[in-house]
Amino acid sequence: MPATKSSTKAPCHAAPKNVVQPHKPGLQKRINRIEGQVRGIGKMIEGDRYCMDILTQISAIQSALDAAAMQILEDHTRGCVSDAIQSGKGDAAIAELMSVVKKFAR
């Protein structure tokens, strides 16, 4: 599903307030799971659990967040960036894309 915005909303490259997320149900489910994992880490710390177990859970959360971010990044690239390029406004969209990709480069 490549369309990531409706025709009544501002173009993605103009920092819209509302963008349709094509994978919204799956992303929401993933974020809810991550939220539960974070709460679980709090309980592990409170319960004086073994440090390595806590670190393992933190690593799992980081991986899950990375996967969610990559899904959103792919959707943005296939939708918003593609639309911007086709409308002749690709340079700004690509610059914005690269700035966010750099945040994820480790």
The verdict on residue 63 lying in a domain is yes
The verdict on residue 12 lying in a domain is no
pLDDT at 29: 97
pLDDT at 6: 39
The interaxial angle of helices 24-46 and 51-76, nearest 10 deg, is 160
The verdict on residue 95 lying in a domain is yes
Query: Pick the residue with more confidence: 59 or 5?
Result: 59
Query: Pick the residue with more confidence: 19 or 9?
Result: 19
Rg (the chain; Cα; Å)? 18
Query: Pick the residue with more confidence: 28 or 9?
Result: 28
| Average pLDDT estimate for 13-21 | 67
Q: Rounded distance, CA 87 to CA 35, Å?
A: 38
**pLDDT exceeds 80 at position 3:** no
The verdict on residue 67 lying in a domain is yes
Structural domain total, the chain: 1
Domain that holds residue 81: 23-104
The verdict on residue 14 lying in a domain is no
The verdict on residue 58 lying in a domain is yes
The CATH number of whichever domain residue 77 belongs to comes to 1.20.58.1000
The verdict on residue 44 lying in a domain is yes
Contacts 24+ apart (CB under 8 A), 21-26: 21/72, 21/75, 22/75, 22/79, 23/71, 23/75, 26/71
**pLDDT exceeds 70 at position 4:** no
The verdict on residue 96 lying in a domain is yes
Q: Quick: pLDDT tens for 67-102.
A: 999 999 999 999 999 999 999 999 999 999 999 999
Q: Rounded distance, CA 58 to CA 62, Å?
A: 6
Phi–psi pair at 10, nearest 5 degrees: -65, 150
